[in-house]
Structure 1
């Protein structure tokens, strides 16, 4: 990344430049999570807010850019600055009463005046030696958009990517899978997800947490057992009880995994794809079990250990092991498990509310690739389930190839697998933010005794 000025107070121009660098990284194939880690700490929060905003409008602003700059200079950073600036302008304060182009239900960043955005964007490029020559082009382009905004938006909205801010292939797949809900799903994916907490029953309770939140002036509801949703997201350090391990941040859909899997104290349990450890911790919170937590990435497995330590669960009967779940000889000792959680790798199409870059990073060809890996993991893990035991298949996806189709094919391949009641496909469609969940799929199988 180019250097960003370091000051005690940051300006919008600093944030625009840092956001553009992150947008440029995503367009080059990097995840926002990775690129934001390289952003100076003083800028990270504001940069994430703006970068997320751009990702949720990228289809629209990319189309606008194509219309306004026919021959853009061969400078990817300038392109990214222009995309960031257009995204901020389209929701500027002068246009705040217009909602036809805004599919974001609630804003997660300040709304700026148009002159502020233009001035600060120009300052951002003026402060970079390699961008200084484009200062006039940027100024003229942004002012041209402001003057002709209604006509430009009308023309841009002729294209589905500009309307729904997802790639065309993604839109087509969602439309085929959910013909009655596809538009609502795409719109919901552009809303920031609510901040949901899972209360650690070994250290606190919903009643105690609700009292602590009220005392801290934080509004919250409890839409499900053991769960709390904050009315307004906060940094974890600003919410009572984080360091004490009273709770974890976990979406309402993800919280269902440890509740669906039949558990009793004394069971031998496997969490086959455990990082970053949310479901691992929840399993340990629910019962006194003998747990093996696997993950193929040793670095990500360290996060599992950190989470368990914060929650006071590192003293539980749990073993963390870095291994590929498919390669049974590398980790399995031949002793069968009473219960197995297979929260398998997927396209993560169900969590784009929280990771809006995912839609632009994925390719249609990724789906059959992940589906193939999922099949191999499930077939391998089924061998480790004892007769009478259970395997819970879970993905944070809304694509049927990674959900219902996978479950149906698994049952056909294994005559000793009996499908049990489970939620199936969960979709982020709830009108009430407090009851809204990510896209998830669950299928539970019992092994014939």
Structure 2
């Protein structure tokens, strides 16, 4: 079978109904498609299918006499993809329906091909009524789980609709020039000579913006490590860390290594990249090697330094804390399918534990930068406020950024602010 839509349906069923990550699904199915255009279509269908699942999955209960999720998960996912093609990708009706029906046959379900055709034709006939049904609730209007739509509305009542709308917009591709290998001006010239539409970011010194995703391994400069892929919200971390030559720096929870590499590109520092998961740590090594950078890699628990710390304090500590990832739904649409409200409290406990474990490792006068890719106050300024309460050896450093808004402590980027991902930052100094 080489039908791209059939592969996409199988992959989407894995992601939406079996909890497989989007990355793992792509790694499983993409190699089966030899043509680069088919792989690109697979990625587009799978990303948009995950992004819009929570909008179109519920409507199938109105369009089907009997649910297919359990007995025929690939066909159920295929129907979601059919609706995505019609409503999101806005493919011509005849092409979207015909190709989806053919995919049912490619899935060796010829007896269900007629059902697929009938469901999609019924959607077209009843489209106005069904869209009104979906638009009546925030979770189906914006394709967010109900608990998250409620949390966003509670935390950011004035921005909630804009945030959830931004979550469903394809983000631009952001690059970070490797100052050790190139300048931004030189890299921009190479990219433009290659036919790419590339622009410098307005206020991030190392940022380059391309309007759409592409195979970055084919871009000029990738092989020799002239750049890395990193959203601009993540690039802010290096500015806040303000590293200087000769400092000892710890990047905790470092995988895949983007922020660690950025710090090493900025200054000659002795950097330790700490990661709990040995498999994820291998990605740090791969990124360091490609970019021509060197760091000490430590495998261990950020909340319990006794197993890996050498007793020498750090001048800078970066904590990219484990979090809900609710700020990066536009880039990781599968998070909305896998994250649960019950996940948040254990994450908050882990964030506090890591802060408690690493603060003693910071030198007097040193700086700790706390970051999450969450937009939930419970994980962000509430954590820092509670942690600072009653402490005599820590103070929050106030700062502003050209986009986003001040939090109770620190700064919050919401998804779409400055066309960047959602991210929270707090900068703490040891006194």
* CA-to-aligned-CA distance 1:299-325 (integer Å, 9 cap, x gap): 1111111111111113xxx21111111
Q: Measure the CA separation in 1 of the matches of 2:167 and 2:53.
A: 13
Do structure 1's residue 117 and structure 2's residue 96 form an aligned pair? yes
Query: Tell me, what secondary structure is at the counterpart of 1:276?
Result: coil
**Contact 1:403 1:441 (8 Å CA) reproduced:** yes
Query: Tell me, what secondary structure is at the counterpart of 1:293?
Result: strand
User: Residue 244 of structure 1 corresponds to which residue in structure 2?
Assistant: 224
**Contact 2:249 2:316 (8 Å CA) reproduced:** yes
* CA-to-aligned-CA distance 1:153-176 (integer Å, 9 cap, x gap): 123322322211101111110001
Do structure 1's residue 346 and structure 2's residue 323 form an aligned pair? yes
Shift of 1:231: 2.7
Do structure 1's residue 153 and structure 2's residue 150 form an aligned pair? no
Do structure 1's residue 30 and structure 2's residue 20 form an aligned pair? yes
Do structure 1's residue 184 and structure 2's residue 181 form an aligned pair? no
Query: Tell me, what secondary structure is at the counterpart of 2:231?
Result: coil
Alignment partner of 1:357 out of 310, 316, 334: 334
User: Residue 421 of structure 1 corresponds to which residue in structure 2?
Assistant: 398
Q: Measure the CA separation in 2 of the matches of 1:141 and 1:360.
A: 24
Which sits farther off after the overlay, 275-284 or 141-150? 141-150
Show structure 1 runs of 4+ deviating over 3 A: none
* CA shift in 2, pair 1:301/1:91, >3 Å: closer
Q: Measure the CA separation in 2 of the matches of 1:59 and 1:285.
A: 41
**Contact 1:396 1:439 (8 Å CA) reproduced:** yes
Q: How many residues align?
A: 411
User: Residue 404 of structure 2 corresponds to which residue in structure 1?
Assistant: none
**Contact 1:276 1:303 (8 Å CA) reproduced:** yes
* CA-to-aligned-CA distance 1:212-234 (integer Å, 9 cap, x gap): 12222222221221111113332
Structure 1: tracts of 5 or more residues without a match: 7-13, 94-111
**Contact 2:173 2:209 (8 Å CA) reproduced:** yes
* CA shift in 2, pair 1:162/1:390, >3 Å: same
User: Residue 424 of structure 2 corresponds to which residue in structure 1?
Assistant: 441
Query: Tell me, what secondary structure is at the counterpart of 2:171?
Result: coil
Structure 2: tracts of 5 or more residues without a match: 401-410
Q: Measure the CA separation in 2 of the matches of 1:231 and 1:45.
A: 16
Shift of 1:414: 3.0
Which sits farther off after the overlay, 45-54 or 265-274? 45-54
Alignment partner of 2:118 out of 112, 136, 140: 140
Alignment partner of 2:144 out of 147, 166, 169: 166
* CA shift in 2, pair 1:18/1:422, >3 Å: farther
Q: Measure the CA separation in 1 of the matches of 2:249 and 2:62.
A: 56
Query: Tell me, what secondary structure is at the counterpart of 2:213?
Result: coil
User: Residue 378 of structure 1 corresponds to which residue in structure 2?
Assistant: 355
Q: Measure the CA separation in 2 of the matches of 1:236 and 1:30.
A: 24
- RMSD between superposed Cα atoms in Å: 1.5
**Contact 1:197 1:249 (8 Å CA) reproduced:** yes
Q: TM-score, normalised by structure 2?
A: 0.92
**Contact 1:422 1:443 (8 Å CA) reproduced:** no
Do structure 1's residue 77 and structure 2's residue 56 form an aligned pair? no
Q: Measure the CA separation in 1 of the matches of 2:390 and 2:92.
A: 59
User: Residue 189 of structure 2 corresponds to which residue in structure 1?
Assistant: 211
Shift of 1:413: 5.3
Q: Measure the CA separation in 1 of the matches of 2:40 and 2:210.
A: 19
* CA-to-aligned-CA distance 1:53-82 (integer Å, 9 cap, x gap): 122222221132111113124322221111
**Contact 1:394 1:442 (8 Å CA) reproduced:** yes
Q: Measure the CA separation in 2 of the matches of 1:59 and 1:311.
A: 39
Q: TM-score, normalised by structure 1?
A: 0.88
Q: Measure the CA separation in 1 of the matches of 2:412 and 2:106.
A: 49
Do structure 1's residue 235 and structure 2's residue 218 form an aligned pair? no
Alignment partner of 1:58 out of 53, 56, 62: 53
Shift of 1:24: 1.0
Shift of 1:426: 0.9
**Contact 2:6 2:106 (8 Å CA) reproduced:** no
**Contact 1:422 1:442 (8 Å CA) reproduced:** no
* CA-to-aligned-CA distance 1:246-272 (integer Å, 9 cap, x gap): 111111110011111131111111111
Do structure 1's residue 397 and structure 2's residue 377 form an aligned pair? no
**Contact 1:16 1:85 (8 Å CA) reproduced:** no
User: Residue 19 of structure 1 corresponds to which residue in structure 2?
Assistant: 8
**Contact 1:388 1:447 (8 Å CA) reproduced:** yes
Alignment of 1:263-342 (within 5 A): 263-314=243-294, 318-342=295-319
